[in-house]
Structure 1
């Protein structure tokens, strides 16, 4: 992800707007006024004080079109971020989502999930539509503030890619091949040097797991995250803390994300995400 979280974007996140897009929300979606009133009336979930953008909570189907927004729809956490262009994110309390984008020279990443990572989480998802996203992926961050910031291992951005239009882990170091839930994956590691991240501008690693074949649409899938952590560690790549608010700009969230960047064509990705370990 080309992560450019700036002060202005955080400010816009605090002034959350719910707007229309090419595909209108369902008839029972809340009005902007009702959603704003509801968000103000409900307590934050979770009660995070450091990252004001994360104190938003909405009820019912919610449509996001602004530059940056994070929070909860019911109990479902979400992140929605773009550095330009036109992309929108619709989400309900059951984890059903739809992301629409218009092609152009920009980066978008968004999706439903959890406000912190969990090494033992089992993620369930189903994609019913994907018309060319750069990546459909489990996505998140790990961060250890006690480690030397000059060591790229102190901050890790990870991808367990399920579908792609761009080559995952391109130009990176190859690790191991392993099987998880009947799917064969290969690990890769790349490095980002002095790039924007959840902790300001930093040098950090990206860990990748790429399946041998792209996962089909219209089918329920499971991602057993612990298997990928073990495979990365078998490659000698340690994953730092997944559950903290220590970074400067964002906590270490974990979401099923749709990422699009430098896309020529417009498209849609739609499906559902849930905790398959319960």
Structure 2
């Protein structure tokens, strides 16, 4: 996410947390089943101001929403423009955007990260998203906030039009599931995050080549966690509900910023751990 994206997110979430969202802010602009209560997970209720659960396929068009469609958590955020997220209970997704000067990120996954998770996916369309990526957070509230390791935003890129390696420190090159990746680390100083303005690290894994459309693939998340750790880059707790603004989710995200023209990215994500 860029600076403007993060700042607008933080302002919106701070308003919801400090003064409470109005009914207009909380009500999702969707088609499909009506929203119900958040899933019965201890601790998730603190995010109920903007967390919903849908039992049928759902189209999200509002500016900001998180919640569940079936068993899949989703995040959806934009600071302008026209972008929609179409979600199915089987993990299928489609993001459609119009060109303009704004930022968007969204997609389905899980409300927590799991080092042992194997993430299955297939991409069907990509009109030039900035990133299509496994995206998530780790957070340790017991670690000093002056240490950027207390909060980590991570990306495992699969397709991209913007190259983040130009702004990062190189770590290592490794192979996972037949794909060669290189790792990078960036630092964000007093920028908005899932826990308000913070100084934190970003970890990146970038494949040598973009992953193809129309093929089923798997990302072995543990390999990336280990590769980052090999250069001393440790992810803190990825199953943490104590951040102020969001849980430490892990999703297959589509991100676009300042898109030059209209576009679409679609596919499906699933948990391939036991397959």
CA–CA distance in 1 between the matches of 2:250 and 2:165?
19
Task: After superposing the two structures, state which structure 1 stretch, 138-147 or 75-84, moved more.
Answer: 75-84
How many Å apart are 1:202 and its aligned residue? 0.7
1:26-37 aligned within 5 A: 30=32, 35-36=33-34
Q: Which residue matches 2:244?
A: 248
Q: Determine if the alignment matches structure 1 residue 73 to structure 2 residue 69.
A: yes
CA contact (8 A) 2:57 2:88 kept: yes
CA distance in 2, matches of 1:225, 1:253: 14
Match of 2:128 among 113, 132, 148: 132
For residues 127 and 173 of structure 1, the distance between their equivalents in structure 2, rounded to whole angstroms, comes to 29
Q: Is contact 1:46–1:55 with CA below 8 Å preserved after alignment?
A: no
Q: Does 1:64 align with 2:52?
A: no
Partner Cα separation in structure 2 for residue 223 and residue 255 of structure 1: 12
Aligned 8 A contact 1:44 1:55 in 2: no
Q: Which residue of 1 aligns with 2:265?
A: 269
Whether the aligned pair in 1 keeps the contact of 2:51 and 2:65 (CA below 8 Å) is no
Q: Which residue of 2 aligns with 1:176?
A: 172
Aligned residues: 261
Q: CA separation in 2, counterparts of 1:150 and 1:269? A: 38
Task: State whether residues 38 and 67 of structure 2, in contact with CA within 8 Å, keep that contact through their aligned partners in structure 1.
Answer: no
Residues in 2 aligned to 1:196 and 1:266: alpha-carbon distance in whole angstroms: 28
> What TM-score results when the alignment is normalised by the length of structure 2?
0.91
Q: Deviations over 1:33-75 (max 9, x none)?
A: xx33xx34x6634352111146411121100000111111111
Aligned to 2:28: 16
RMSD, aligned α-carbons: 1.6
Tell me what 2:39 maps to.
44
List, as ranges, runs of 4+ consecutive aligned residues in structure 1 with deviation greater than 6 Å. Answer: none
Instruction: Structure 1: give runs of 5+ residues left out of the alignment.
Output: 20-29
Q: 1:108 aligns with which of 97, 104, 113?
A: 104
User: Do the aligned partners of 1:135 and 1:162 also contact (CA within 8 Å) in 2?
Assistant: yes
TM-score under structure 1 length normalisation: 0.90
Q: For residues 143 and 71 of structure 1, do their structure 2 counterparts lie closer, same or farther at Cα, with a shift above 3 Å needed?
A: same
Distance verdict in 2 for CA 1:121–1:13, change over 3 Å: farther
- Contact preservation (8 Å) 1:13, 1:70: no
Residue 86 of structure 2 aligns to a residue whose secondary structure is: strand
- Give the CA deviation at 1:245: 0.7
Aligned to 1:85: 81
